Structures are given as C-alpha cells and as structure tokens.
Chains A and B, each alone.
Chain A
C-alpha cells in the first residue's frame, strides 16, 4: 500500500534520513521505532510532504507521491496524526472534527463518521463544544486521532501517539488503535514506547541516526536481543 524506496530527507546540509526503504501492506500495522532524534518524525513527515525529500521514491497505492503537495496526498487517503497532537487549540472539539473532513464532499458520510467517532470516543461527545485547549493531553490525543479519521483515510500514520501520556491513558490509546485495526485500517506507528507498539504491529523497522538498522516481523525484532538492547533500551526475549 505504501512503499518508500531509498528515501533521503535533508534540511539544508543536515541529513536527517539516509537511504531508508519501508514497505507497508494493506491491513498491516507497521511499527517504526528508534531512539530520540533518529529521524522517525522527519521520515513520516516527508511521506505526507511536510519534510523535504532529497531523493528517493514514495508510492502510495501505486501512485508516486513524493512530489505531491500534502493536501493531495491526504485526499488520496493517506494521513498523519502529528507528534504533539497539534489540535487546533482555539477551535472547539466539534470544529476540529469538522475540519478533519475538509477534503470530503459527501455530507451524509461526514455526519455518519462524526457520529461513529463520537461513539468510539465518548469523551469527545462530552467535550464537543469545548475549545480543544481545555482538553487533557490524552483527550487531545484522542481528538487528534479522531480528526485524522474524519478524512476517512485508507492508511493512517501516527507520530508518537503515547508521548507524554500517563500509562493508563497510553493503554487506552493502544486499545483504540487495536480496535481500528479490527476495522481494517492500515497503520504506520512511530513510537519510542517499543513494547506497546510491538504488541500491536505485524512488522517493525528500527532507525538510528537516520539510517535503517533493522527490518523484519515484530516477533523477529522481539527475539533480536541485540537490536532491542542497543537501540530501544529494552531486554530482548529468548
């Protein structure tokens, strides 16, 4: 569904990502792991046209998208829930969700999805008329995810959905992602919280200092003690 081939991302002279290739198949959940500053955010931002691609190819459902503007990529059904949630703080929860559907024209479908996600995230129904800035971190993360879903994506990328959240809330978020998987949504999850991400993912990639250091199935990674320890600071399994 999404395929990155030999992607390089540079900010002027600084190379953030070097020669990374990633494959995400339809219906799959892929975890993109790695230490802070490894280039994970740069990489997935580049996929939606928000970070400069120096070279390489990115194809989504067979279309070359590496030169397309963000809004066109989103309209193709690929979106990103950015790091730090970045909800529109001065807009209400409802307005955030409506704006999430900005690229759609099917009024009935939008209303249907809105109802569906208010059902799935009851807290958003409760806070529907509040400004997003009044929400807690976990609530903002749920709003950010729901807002992304309002564009009815075929594939969703999430950048650090657990960042800065209490463990209990992190569990809630991952339960939610697991229920979205049940609905057939393809996902690429960037995480520092490797354990949670691997419990959900089919396959995994690890980047460090801008380059790929591991790719394989999630269970391969769990059993690769060296990678787990060196790059993710976790004990590998036997």
Chain B
C-alpha cells in the first residue's frame, strides 16, 4: 500500500516537474537569445486558453482540434507580442524589456477581464485527460502520464533542434554573441522569432495540461505559471536550457515531496519550505544549479 502511494506521488512529482520544466524552458530560451525576462510568458497561456474556450463556444468539441488550436494560438500570440511589443524596444536596457513584458501582461489580463469577466469560464479539454490509468493497484491520472511523456518528447525535440538545425545552432551562438551570428549571414530577426515561436509552443503545451487540471480559464491564470517558471529558471541557472529543465523538475519534486513529507499541521506552509530550500541552494550556488558564473571580459 505504502509503495503504491509512493509510486503515485512519484508520478505526481514528475508531471508537476515536467510542467515547470516546459514553462521554464520557454522563459529561458527567450532570455538566452535576447536577455529579456518575458513576464508575459504566463499570459500567452491565458491567450491560448481563451482561444480554446472560444472555439468550444462555437461548437467545436473534438479535442484533437481544440488542443492543437490552443497551442497554435499560443505560438501566434508569442510571435505577435514579439513584433508589437518587444521588437520596438530591442537594444534598450533589460529593464525596459522587463517593464514592456509587464505592460503586455497587464494588457492581456485586462482584455480578458473586459471581454470575459473575472469569473472563471469552464473549458472541457477532453474526458480522457481527466481519467485515470490503473497499473495494478495504482491509479495514475492520464494527464500526469501524458505530461511526463510530452515533456520528455519536447526536451528531446528541443535538444535535436538546437544541435542539428542551423537556426538551433544560431540560437545557441546568439546567446553569447549576436553580432558574430549576423556575420555568419543569419538574420537576427529570424533567431529571435524562432526563440519566441519555441517559447510559445512550449507554453502552449504546458497550457493544455494546466487547463486539463483546472478545467477553466480566467484572466489571471497566467500568473502562477510564470512565477513557477521564473523560480525554476533561477534555481536551474538563468538562461541555461539544461538548467531550466533541471530547475523545473527540482522544483516539482521539492513541492510534491514536501507536500508528502511535511506533517499535516504545517503542510499549509509548503511553499515557504520550498522557497527556503531554494534559498539555501542559491546561497551555495548563486548562479543556479547549472548556471555559469558571470564571465568578466573576453579571453583572447
């Protein structure tokens, strides 16, 4: 019995960690290429969520249409935000970019508030997402299994993209030296749009699972995800893609682990313990688990 419980919680930790990893990767890939902390990352999920809500409202119920549509709209939202909001401030100080991101976030939240109201709107993703798999005596929600599998697939796909495609190589190179990437004949625009497209795609995937869990959209649903993504990315080492994955899983495992291990009287303070743990890690590794120490000056 005890081992069944442990197995269930292990899956829970993996799926929560996977969700955080997807979110943190999306944040990290944009940061690594253009040193922008996109605090509107979570609101892209909101846009995708409302898009699914609207599609269902118009009578489309097939999840194989609704879910990809949500991901597609999230990607388009990411690209549109880049064009409209971030491109005009490209080259400005990082603070300007961050404030722009907050601005985008506030606008999206308020548009959703004005046209949708503050009350959550139910979104039925798919029945089978809400069901459970029985493995022996263990019940594991389908959403958790899928989330773990999709996260791993997304990570493998991303690694392949970053290693084997020219645009992937360019994105890795641009993290350190944009002018020389342009000297290779690569358009800076193309690298940045690719980073936003990938970021939107990962947010869209995470969005599906977030929606499957909550079963509803509301204007502020993007806040918790972006916060988790930010914490996971800092923990893993900001700007490092492997760091984002490790940070995401570490955060998920710490949350679920503490939920299980803490006595019930203080389990309500779980997040305080999580942040305490992260604080301790950062005291010893200020650059995050896999982050690099800041590089002062160029070696020649």
Interface residues of A (CB under 8 A from B): 48-50, 69-71, 74-75, 79-80, 82, 84-86, 88-91, 95, 98-100, 102-104, 137, 147-148, 151, 163-164
Contacts and interface: CB of A to CB of B under 8 A. Distances in A.
B271 interface: no
B172 A70 contact: no
B239 to A, nearest CB: 12
Given A84-B300, A91-B169, A99-B166, A70 B182 contact: yes
7 contacts: A50-B182, A71-B186, A75-B185, A80-B183, A100-B184, A137-B300, A148-B183
Contact of A103 (B169, B173, B184): B184
B213 interface: no
A85 B185 CA distance: 17
Contacts of B169: 91, 95, 98-99, 102
A166 to B, nearest CB: 13
Main SS of chain B's interface residues?
helix
B179 to A, nearest CB: 5
Range class of the B interface residue count:
20 to 34
Contacts of A70: 179, 182-183
Contacts of B177: 86, 88
A151 B184 CA distance: 7
Contacts of A103: 184-186
Nearest to A83: B300
A75 B187 CA distance: 11
B185 A74 contact: yes
A49 B177 CA distance: 15
Given A70-B179, A70-B182, 5 more contacts: A50-B183, A95-B163, A137-B300, A147-B184, A151-B185
A71 B176 contact: no
Contact of A102 (B163, B176, B185, B298): B185
B295 to A, nearest CB: 9
A74 B183 contact: yes
Contacts of A100: 184
B180 interface: yes
B290 interface: no
Given A70-B179, A89-B176, A91-B173, A99 B300 contact: no
Given A50-B179, A84-B300, A98-B166, A71 B173 contact: no
B157 to A, nearest CB: 18
A71 B187 contact: yes
B182 A90 contact: no
Contacts of A88: 172-173, 176-177, 180
A143 B177 CA distance: 16
A214 to B, nearest CB: 28
B170 interface: yes
Contacts of B180: 82, 86, 88
Nearest to A89: B176
